[in-house]
Amino acid sequence: MVHLTIHRGAHVGQRSFRRRAVLSLCAAGACMLASLAPGPARAQDKGTLNPQPLPPLAHPDDPNTLAKELFGRATTPAAMPPRAIGFYSKGCLAGGVALPINGPTWQVMRLSRNRNWGHPSLVEFLERLANQAPRTGWRGLLLGDMSQPRGGPMLAGHASHQIGLDADIWLTPMPDRELTREEREEMMATMIVAESRKDVDPKAWTPAHVALIKAAAQDPVVMRIFVNAAIKKALCRDAGSSDRAWLHKVQPWFGHDWHFHIRLQCPPGETGCEGQAPRPADEGCRAKEFDHWFDSAAPPPKPDAKPDAKPTPGRPGPRMSALPPACRQVLRAP
């Protein structure tokens, strides 16, 4: 539960001003939680070997139905040409494809979540990165959430990851054996951020972490990478003195202390995909760019602070009528 709050917080407000996002997060209680140095046991959710199907909805065609209730029940992709529709935190996915749960240099975790779906460009990118990983000193990737089969809002866990262009990758390398189903539900990632929350844990952080994130950031289809501010600080310090341009794609954010989040650009020619402005070209490595993330004395929330749509308790997320109309076709498709 604690993780859900933090991780949800980690994905809100990316299109709004940071201050507003901070206020929103504080309103959700995540400011405080994020500064409490959650240990590995509290940092992430376990899955189950026996996921239960959800009961059918009484009024699935009602435009007031919460989109997460519909997309959270879609267990197969929409048989349509691939399209990322809408924005990362308000949209859906046509023609989603699954990343196979095992590859030579990757394994998908938390299979019960059925979130190893994405736009073909995301699956291609992940296979490309996994293939490159051993050359960076990283045995292989452990994949966290991508999207649901038809994308869309989720019943729990993220505000973004809706259009098949976001993926979470564990900051724990793949073991040199195939994990069992049970291990994939129960295994915990390594916490990378130190207890102080102001730097990485030197016992956990390695040159291969830097090399892997660099390889991801240098792929031209990657638009942004979200990591904890302590991890961005460590990347800036450990990236070497040349070939640092990739650092500009790395965005400090809440959470993201045991995984990093990759966001791809809209696929070329997909006009229904609403992109996001690229980060400034500057590498973003000055102290002032981290210090405010470490400041625990964040201002209290204003009573009228309006958080972006996010699936927190009491904040139900968008209704179907708020998503792009094409998302209704995505739900109806075979």
| Residues of this chain that bind Zn ion (CB under 5 A) | 168, 261
State in angstroms the smallest separation of the CB of 259 from Zn ion: 7
Q: Judged by CB, which is closer to Zn ion: 12, or 230?
A: 12
Q: Judged by CB, which is closer to Zn ion: 6, or 200?
A: 6
β-bridge mates for residue 234, sequence order: none
Q: Judged by CB, which is closer to Zn ion: 95, or 157?
A: 157
**Residue 195 contacts by C-beta under 8 Å, 6 or more apart in sequence?**
37, 201
Q: Judged by CB, which is closer to Zn ion: 9, or 140?
A: 9
State in angstroms the smallest separation of the CB of 40 from Zn ion: 18
Residue type, 294: F
Cα separation of 327 and 162, whole Å? Answer: 11
Instruction: Give the DSSP H/E element, type plus range, for residue 169.
Output: strand 166-170
Q: Are strands 106-108 and 102-103 parallel, antiparallel or unpaired?
A: antiparallel
Cα separation of 149 and 331, whole Å? Answer: 10
Report the residue count for the chain: 334
β-bridge mates for residue 91, sequence order: 86
Paired tokens of 126? 């992940």
Q: Judged by CB, which is closer to Zn ion: 115, or 261?
A: 261
State in angstroms the smallest separation of the CB of 160 from Zn ion: 7
State in angstroms the smallest separation of the CB of 316 from Zn ion: 20
State in angstroms the smallest separation of the CB of 112 from Zn ion: 18
State in angstroms the smallest separation of the CB of 144 from Zn ion: 7
Nearest to 161 by CA among 6, 324, 23, 10: 10
State in angstroms the smallest separation of the CB of 328 from Zn ion: 26
Q: Judged by CB, which is closer to Zn ion: 65, or 112?
A: 112
From residue 102, give the alpha-carbon distance in Å to each of 75, 146, 147, 155, 180: 20, 15, 17, 26, 11
**Residue 116 contacts by C-beta under 8 Å, 6 or more apart in sequence?**
98, 99, 101, 108, 143, 146
Q: Judged by CB, which is closer to Zn ion: 168, or 270?
A: 168
From residue 216, give the alpha-carbon distance in Å to each of 57, 263, 292, 307: 40, 10, 26, 30
Q: Judged by CB, which is closer to Zn ion: 9, or 307?
A: 9
Residue type, 70: L
State in angstroms the smallest separation of the CB of 161 from Zn ion: 6
Q: Which residue is nearest to Zn ion (CB)?
A: 261
